[in-house]
Amino acid sequence: MKTPAIPDLRRTLTLRDVSEASGVSEMTVSRVLRNRGDVSATTRIRVLEAARTLGYVPNKIAGALASQRVNLVGVVIPSLSNMVFPEVMTGISEMLEGTGLQPVVGVTNYLPEREESVVYEMLSWRPSGLILAGLEHTDACRAMLAQAGIPIVEIMDIDGTPVNSAVGISHRRAGRQMAEAIIAAGYRRIAFMGTQMPNDHRAKKRLEGFEEALGHVGLSLVDREFYSGGSALLKGREMTAAVLNRTQDVDFLYYSNDMIGAGGLLYCLDQGYDVPGTIGLAGFNGVELLDGLPRKLATMDACRLEIGKAAAEIIAGKRPGGVTAGEVITLTPTLQPGDTIRLV
């Protein structure tokens, strides 16, 4: 059954090659390979056989140009190295499975100019849709998105005005809610630790919501500490040590993400603090890593998987209801008290 190896002419194959090898027109080959239109069983088999033995791989560039359809969905996110976006990607991929659409990732490193150029690059491939993290973009970026004429979904955050559709949670509310739980548990001298990133708008909004809720009961943060780069777990330890050494009687540590929170937790346990008795801790994200810690860190789920799925659904036009323009889907994160916050 083995056909003799085709001499490698180092010329990329085209439909014409398959067409000649199987004795039908290019159009028919195209139809066979796309399962479109009527083709007799005999022809189909002959064509497929020829394509297979030649090792033909269709040229989507040409196909996309001719058909004006591109089966790609751009996904623009700030980073891949924290655990949050990979899970969003998982949600997107799962939902896109079987739709013929394929995600293409672009990373911005939290830089607005970088985002602008990534978006430009993406749009120049004329994708079927674009998913991007956050609501904050440069003016030029917004303009491009608005002009693009494809579905645009901004994810993660809903505190702001989306270009078109949005799926996410209210980070301001999340911060507020966590603060309220902490206050209710009786903690009063609360410190905050987080990233130094001026462009992590969502972390900023959480902090704003948090401080706002503290303000409502006449409290304010007794200390705060920021970091950038490095191993988050280690930074969590270091910042926690710094805060606890610097400020008296701190009784709660609020972290902008679970990773540094986990570091802080390990530090507190090492140091023999009574957690959550004399000191409570909480993070944000609900990363599964926490399940393996000696004690479970209080956190708040960011609905990453659901966000990815919903965003993909909008792009794929699968949302029940049909109309997909300008939809804003608000998910509500649930507080997971874990073992690091006193029971009320």
Partner DNA sequence: GTGCAGGCTGTTAGCGGTAACATATTCGAT
Partner DNA sequence: ATCGAATATGTTACCGCTAACAGCCTGCAC
- Residues at the site binding a second copy, with contacts judged by CB under 8 A: 8, 10, 12, 55, 57-62, 64-65, 70, 80-81, 83, 86-87, 89-90, 93, 102, 104-105, 107, 120-121, 123-126, 143-144, 147-149, 230-237, 262-263, 266, 270, 288-294
CA atoms within 13 A on the CB side of 297: 35
Return the bridge partners of 154, or none. Answer: 132, 166
Partner whose binding site includes residue 212, from a second copy, DNA, none (CB under 5 to 8 Å by kind):
none
C-alpha distances (whole Å) from 212 to each of 161, 175, 205 are: 21, 9, 10
Q: Which of 21, 30, 276, 287 binds DNA (CB under 7 A)?
A: 30
Structure tokens given for 13: 């194959």
Show the DSSP H helices in the chain as ranges: 15-22, 26-34, 41-54, 60-67, 84-96, 112-123, 139-147, 171-184, 201-216, 232-246, 258-270, 304-316
Residue 73, classed as helix, strand or coil, is strand
Q: Which of 20, 26, 49, 339 binds DNA (CB under 7 A)?
A: 26
Closer residue to DNA (CB): 22 or 340 = 22
Partner whose binding site includes residue 326, from DNA, a second copy, none (CB under 5 to 8 Å by kind):
none
- The interface mask with DNA, positions 67-86, x = CB under 7 A, is xxx-----------------
Q: Does 45 bind DNA (CB under 7 A)?
A: no
Q: Does 9 bind DNA (CB under 7 A)?
A: no
Which one of the spans 41-49, 130-138, 173-181, 278-286 is the region binding DNA (CB under 7 A)?
41-49
Partner whose binding site includes residue 39, from DNA, a second copy, none (CB under 5 to 8 Å by kind):
DNA
Q: Does 246 bind DNA (CB under 7 A)?
A: no
286: enclosing H helix or E strand: none
Euclidean distance between CA atoms 314 and 316, whole angstroms? 5
Residue 54, classed as helix, strand or coil, is helix
Q: Does 53 bind DNA (CB under 7 A)?
A: no
Q: Decide if 289 contacts 83 (C-beta within 8 A).
A: yes
Peptide bond into 151 cis (omega under 30): no
Closer residue to DNA (CB): 20 or 339 = 20
Give the footprint of DNA on this chain (CB under 7 A).
12-16, 24-28, 30-31, 33-34, 36-43, 58-59, 62-63, 65-69
